[in-house]
Amino acid sequence: SQTIQTVSEIIARHAHLEGPLLPMLHDIQAELGHIPETAVPELAAALNIGRAEVHGVISFYHDFRKSPAGKHVVKVCRAEACQAVGANALSDRALALLGGDWHGKTAGGVTIEPVYCLGLCACGPAVMVDGQLEGRVDTARFDEILKEVGA
Ligand code: FES
């Protein structure tokens, strides 16, 4: 399939590197929008490691998505500076919409993901909506954002 071919090309491109798994995963997500399950055995075989190890790395880094993103992507900063000014309330709201699990989409088909610092620490809580940064997002503004994207 096209997916497998893309994955094979990416594997070949990075095969010479010392620690090739992360660059491979980054490129796969950049080109396919997520890490498809079919990529896991390909990566494991190419790198001579177990599938569980590949899965472990994908799960460890919050940036990797296991399924395609929804119609909109909202990222909520969960790092310390934002937490200190109330970002946990945003996470709680997001998790309620996601059914308690960060992986997946809301009923309206919106992806909400945790992120660890958006570089807007002085203006937290910070949120990113389809690539656009927004600071000082209180719960009222967060609800507005979620309504705007149809979460
Ligand atoms: Fe949230 Fe840096 S801690 S933007």
pLDDT digits (tens, 9 = 90+) for 104-117: 899 999 999 999 99
Ligand 1 midpoint to CA 4 (Å): 36
ipTM of the complex: 0.99
138 and 78 housed in the same domain: yes
Count: domains in the chain: 2
Residue 65 lies in a domain: no
137 CB near ligand 1 (under 6 Å): no
95 CB near ligand 1 (under 6 Å): no
Helix axes 39-47, 51-60, angle to 10 degrees: 110
Residue 18 lies in a domain: yes
52 and 88 housed in the same domain: no
76 and 144 housed in the same domain: yes
79 and 55 housed in the same domain: no
Ligand 1 midpoint to CA 144 (Å): 21
Query: What's CA 140's distance to the chain center, in Å?
Result: 24
Q: pLDDT tens, 125-143?
A: 999 999 999 999 999 999 9
For 86, the domain range is 72-148
pLDDT at residue number 105? 92
CB 15 within 8 A of CB 46: yes
CATH at residue 134 = 3.40.30.10
46 and 78 housed in the same domain: no
Here the tokens at position 53 are 């190890």
128 CB near ligand 1 (under 6 Å): no
